[in-house]
Amino acid sequence: MFKKDEEVNIKNAETIIGPSIRVKGNFFGQGDIIIEGILEGEIKTSNNLLIGTKAKIDANIEAKQAKVSGEVHGNLKIKGYLELTSTAKIDGNIEAGNISIENGAIFNGNCIMTKETPKATELNKN
């Protein structure tokens, strides 16, 4: 789902929180989630998460894979691959199997690389 040269297909997303939406509370899902709006609480999905450039998140996050382009205040626990684009602003700790941080991203916190990293073939399935 998150190769650099691919566009994210919103048809595959189970949940989309648009730019004009504000959500407060705990948010749990099993499918792909796209967030472009504001979310306060907690986010957990057993699949993939995309945080858009204008998104503002104040939550702890758990996901299989994630691509962050917006602002996150909270801890991220990503089982597989985490990509921080150049517009990402993270204020919290990160735990991930693999991580990519583009030039321009802002990250304030600690990072722990987990021992259980998925195989490259698993990352390219989505």
The total number of structural domains that make up the chain: 1
Position 3 in a domain: no
For residue 16, what pLDDT is reported? 86
The answer to whether the Cα torsion of 26, 126, 72, 100 is positive or negative is positive
Position 117 in a domain: yes
Exposed, middle or buried: residue 16 (CB in 10 Å: 0-12, 13-18, 19+)? middle
Position 1 in a domain: no
pTM of the model: 0.82
Query: CB atoms < 10 A from the CB of 41, how many?
Result: 14
For residue 121, what pLDDT is reported? 46
Give the range of the structural domain holding residue 52, as residue numbers without chain letter. 10-123
Per the CB < 8 A criterion, the answer to whether 45 and 62 are in contact is yes
> What is the pLDDT tens value at each position of the chain, 126 positions in all?
454 433 455 667 888 899 999 999 998 989 899 999 999 999 999 999 999 999 999 999 999 999 999 999 999 999 999 999 999 999 999 999 999 999 999 999 999 998 754 554 454 444
For residue 19, what pLDDT is reported? 93
